[in-house]
């Protein structure tokens, strides 16, 4: 059980809604205050305000995100990167068709345990029970399906961000081969958005709004004028997050259409990370000053923590438990859930070796990663050493501890 | 907490609104797996026409566009039978299909006699491209004859639900307008919507020819024109519209294919080679080319399965399949070697391009 803090004692006795409100505000302040590098804090602040303070992701039909990058128009076509061209050819050959290659006639029955979209060993029922929330069998099934819809909804919102980021990066990169490759990634991201949207719209028939913290990351990336920060954010961090999240879902789901859909998407994502690693290693090691490298190291670290700690399904909390459980207790349950551990493991398994390979893992920042328990992943295979099959094998091989007993 | 109640909490949106169910873009490509439906109401429209109101048994909606049809799979005297019947409800409403019983119609008479609230059966689809244009502004001119009104009323009610200003003109041709399908419903619609002109034409006064139809339709060249009914009426309507200067692209004809006449099929297995897939299949007695191919895992496109939509059209490389008639293939398609996988079977060794 957690030690009772002064804050807990202050909140105790207040109505639950007031508790949640104070906890939420303090939590947001903590996010902003935890960023050690002032330049990083300044660059992220507008997105944090839009996402966490103003809640822009939860109202209106659209949010304008003002991009501040320059398109690099090539006049001589001399800037070659043959390894990137090779990746482009592979991407062209590997294009799949979301309509033709997936069996949309599959009858997705969320109530059939044999083909469950989200089996009952995924949701944190044990943790909820420890907090006094006991769901009956029917509620558990419905909760698991809502959690599947929430997770896939966030995948879909992430893919929309990835689509725009890929387009921006394609404009900005200086290598012509990067522009070739980028065009395939734009197509990939468009297709990913299409298939997740279609799955949610026609199979699960329930779609959640974009999570505030995901919104902050996407808003930050899409409005930052520096192409390498967009690149680092999208190709390394968000794609790493995506591999962790898609991999976890791929491992858990028993629904054949979703499994096949995720397999195709994971294969594409492997290529995307490879591209990011190729481009950034060259740029970071040859063109950035030590101060610029330091800032990007700090930025990557902050985003990694944001990704690790803050995808806590608050929308599900408000739908299911607002009046029965405090938001703080919910966060505690989710952070300790075996499925969350699986997600973190798969995300950092890929992310840390990639940051190391592109030159954003100095001894200075390693100390911070070590404090966060993330250095065990150092020395792993980076994206240039992994095929899509390797990735799928690693994902399938990982079985989270305690998952089977959590139902 | 219910999903609806949770759509927004603390003034923040949690769930994205889906007031019309799944987006229409997905239904442009027909779903092909049969879905079990429950008949929840049977409405008597005329002496020989009924409307079946259907609820999918699994509770998930069947998304459709106005003007489309479903392939209905009935068991008639122990024999599986499929027929295409149009959806007669507006988009966003309960799924309903209207069926007119033909005097010698084995399946339609069976439906009229036996289907009751509580009956369960399967449907495939929806299918069809006899649908409204994307633009909600172009005037609509519609010509319907007899039971051709079933998809047309869905188009009209959907168009009126989208825009009250849009001009619509329906010419409805029947032997006796007072006993026509949806006669009352259409007159009420016209009374309630000044933008809808309803012209009822009785064939007792003679079948309208192209010249008469040109007067009745009053076709403006900027309108979208929809024709559904007996082939002779549609031919005359199309001639009238072309004569009035309407572009071919603005004329939409529903493929109105009567039920195929049963033909004797081979009683022994027949070899089929799907050349592009490299798969050899033994077609079993009673199977179509489509049945045999799907059983062997060949990726074949199909939709209505009754020869009405053309989705399963494939080219014969060698052999002479037996094709059920009538069907939607044109003379040009037949003469260049096309057949319909759903309605044809091999009668000897056959090679097809699939």
Residues 62-81 of chain B with CB under 8 A from chain A are: 63
B148 three-state secondary structure:
helix
Let me know if A55 is exposed, middle or buried by CB neighbors in 10 A (0-12, 13-18, 19+).
middle
Q: What is the pLDDT of residue A24?
A: 66
| Domains defined along chain B, listed by start | 20-127 (2.40.30.10), 140-253 (3.40.50.80), 270-352 (3.10.20.30)
B25-61 pLDDT, tens digit per residue, is 776 555 566 889 999 999 999 999 999 999 988 776 7
B174-231 pLDDT, tens digit per residue, is 988 888 999 999 999 999 999 999 999 998 877 899 999 999 999 788 899 999 998 8
- At residue A310 the predicted structure's pLDDT band, cuts being 50, 70 and 90, is low
**B206 and B175 in contact (C-beta within 8 Å)?**
no
B263 touches chain A (CB under 8 A): no
CA distance B311 to chain A (A): 14
Does the pTM surpass 0.90? The reply is no
How far is the C-alpha of A58 from the C-alpha of A65, rounded, in Å?
15
ipTM over the 0.85 cut-off: no
Q: List the single best residue of A201, A211, A330 to mutate versus B (max B Cβ within 10 A).
A: A201
A47-71 pLDDT, tens digit per residue, is 888 888 788 888 888 999 998 899 9
Cis amide prior to B326 (ω within 30 degrees): yes
Q: Where do the domains of chain A lie?
A: 72-397
B33 touches chain A (CB under 8 A): yes
Least CB–CB distance from A322: residue in B9, B22, B33: B9
In this structure, what token pair is assigned to residue A229? 């920060």
**A106 and A202 in contact (C-beta within 8 Å)?**
no
**A156 and A196 in contact (C-beta within 8 Å)?**
yes
How far is the C-alpha of B289 from the C-alpha of B352, rounded, in Å?
9
**A348 and A41 in contact (C-beta within 8 Å)?**
no
**A236 and A300 in contact (C-beta within 8 Å)?**
yes
CA distance A16 to chain B (A): 13
Contact between chains at B29 and A99 (C-beta distance less than 8 A): yes
How far is the C-alpha of B47 from the C-alpha of B179, rounded, in Å?
9
* CA B153 to chain centroid: 13
- Overall residue count recorded for chain A in this entry: 407
Contact between chains at A201 and B1 (C-beta distance less than 8 A): no
CATH of A72-397, one of 1.10.8.10, 1.10.620.20, 3.20.20.70, 3.30.365.10: 1.10.620.20
Does residue A10 carry a pLDDT above 70?
A: no
Contact between chains at B15 and A205 (C-beta distance less than 8 A): no
Least CB–CB distance from B26: residue in A153, A201, A320: A201
Does residue B263 carry a pLDDT above 60?
A: yes
A202-251 pLDDT, tens digit per residue, is 898 889 999 888 898 899 989 998 888 888 888 888 888 887 788 888 88
Identify the DSSP state of B198: E
């Amino acid at each position: 059980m957690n030690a009772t803090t002064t804050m807990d004692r202050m909140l105790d006795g207040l109505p639950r809604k007031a508790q949640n409100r104070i906890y939420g505000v303090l939590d947001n302040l903590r996010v902003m205050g935890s960023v050690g590098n002032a330049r990083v804090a300044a660059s992220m602040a507008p997105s944090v305000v839009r996402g966490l303070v103003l809640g822009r992701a939860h109202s209106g039909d659209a949010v304008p995100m003002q991009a501040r990058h320059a398109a690099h128009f090539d006049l001589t076509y001399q800037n070659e990167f043959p390894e990137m061209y090779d990746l482009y050819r592979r991407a062209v050959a590997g294009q799949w068709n979301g309509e033709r290659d997936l069996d949309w006639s599959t009858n997705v029955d969320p109530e059939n345990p044999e083909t469950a979209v989200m089996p009952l060993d995924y949701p944190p029922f044990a943790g909820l029970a420890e907090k006094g929330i006991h769901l009956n069998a029917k509620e558990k099934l419905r909760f698991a399906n809502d959690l599947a819809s929430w997770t896939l909804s966030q995948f879909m919102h992430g893919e929309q961000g990835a689509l725009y980021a890929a387009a921006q990066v394609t404009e900005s990169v200086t290598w012509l081969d990067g522009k070739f490759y980028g065009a395939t990634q734009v197509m990939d991201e468009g297709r990913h958005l299409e298939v997740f949207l279609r799955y949610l719209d026609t199979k699960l028939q329930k779609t959640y709004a974009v999570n505030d913290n995901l919104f902050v990351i996407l808003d930050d990336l899409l409005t930052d004028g520096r192409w390498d920060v967009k690149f680092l954010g999208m190709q390394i961090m968000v794609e790493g997050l995506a591999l962790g999240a898609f991999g976890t879902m791929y491992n858990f789901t028993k629904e054949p259409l979703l499994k096949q859909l995720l397999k195709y998407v994971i294969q594409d994502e492997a290529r995307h990370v490879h591209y990011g690693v190729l481009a950034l290693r060259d740029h970071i090691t040859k063109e950035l000053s030590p101060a610029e490298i330091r800032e990007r190291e700090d930025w990557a670290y902050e985003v990694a923590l944001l990704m690790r700690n803050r995808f806590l399904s608050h929308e599900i909390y408000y739908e299911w438990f607002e009046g029965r459980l405090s938001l703080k207790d919910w966060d505690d349950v989710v952070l300790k859930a075996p499925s969350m551990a699986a997600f973190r493991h798969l995300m950092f398994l890929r992310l840390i070796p990639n940051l190391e390979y592109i030159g954003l893992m100095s001894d200075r920042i390693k100390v911070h990663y070590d404090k966060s328990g993330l250095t065990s992943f150092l020395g792993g295979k980076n994206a240039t050493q992994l095929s899509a099959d390797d990735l799928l094998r690693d994902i399938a091989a990982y079985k989270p501890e305690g998952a089977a007993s959590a139902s | 907490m219910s999903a609806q109640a949770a759509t927004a909490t603390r003034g923040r949106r949690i769930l994205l609104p889906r007031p019309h169910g799944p987006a229409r873009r997905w239904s442009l490509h027909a779903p092909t797996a049969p879905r079990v439906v429950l008949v929840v109401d049977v409405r008597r429209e005329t002496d020989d026409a009924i409307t079946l109101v259907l609820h999918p048994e699994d509770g998930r909606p069947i998304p459709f566009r106005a003007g489309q049809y479903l392939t209905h799979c009935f068991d008639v005297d122990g024999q599986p039978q499929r027929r295409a019947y149009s959806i007669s409800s507006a988009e966003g409403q309960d799924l309903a299909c209207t069926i007119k019983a033909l005097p010698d119609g084995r399946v339609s008479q069976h439906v009229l006699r036996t289907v009751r609230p509580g009956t369960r059966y399967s449907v495939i689809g929806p299918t069809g491209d006899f649908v409204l244009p994307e633009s909600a502004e172009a005037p609509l001119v519609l010509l319907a004859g007899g039971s051709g009104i079933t998809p047309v009323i869905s188009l009209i009610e959907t168009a009126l639900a989208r825009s009250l200003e849009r001009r619509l003109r329906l010419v409805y041709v029947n032997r006796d307008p007072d006993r026509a399908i949806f006669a009352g419903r259409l007159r009420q619609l016209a009374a309630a919507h000044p933008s809808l002109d309803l012209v009822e034409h009785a064939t007792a006064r003679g079948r309208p020819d192209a010249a008469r139809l040109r007067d009745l339709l009053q076709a403006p060249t900027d309108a979208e024109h929809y024709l559904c009914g007996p082939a002779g009426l549609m031919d005359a309507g199309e001639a009238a519209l072309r004569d009035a200067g309407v572009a071919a692209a603005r004329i939409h004809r529903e493929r109105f294919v009567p039920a195929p006449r049963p033909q004797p099929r081979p009683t022994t297995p027949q070899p089929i080679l799907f050349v592009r897939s490299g798969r050899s299949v033994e077609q079993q007695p009673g199977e179509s080319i489509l049945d045999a191919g799907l059983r062997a895992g060949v990726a074949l496109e199909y939709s209505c399965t009754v020869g009405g939509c053309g989705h399963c059209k494939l080219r014969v490389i060698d052999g002479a399949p037996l094709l059920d008639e009538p069907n939607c293939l044109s003379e040009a398609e037949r003469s260049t070697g096309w057949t319909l996988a759903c309605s044809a079977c091999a009668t000897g060794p056959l090679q097809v391009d699939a």
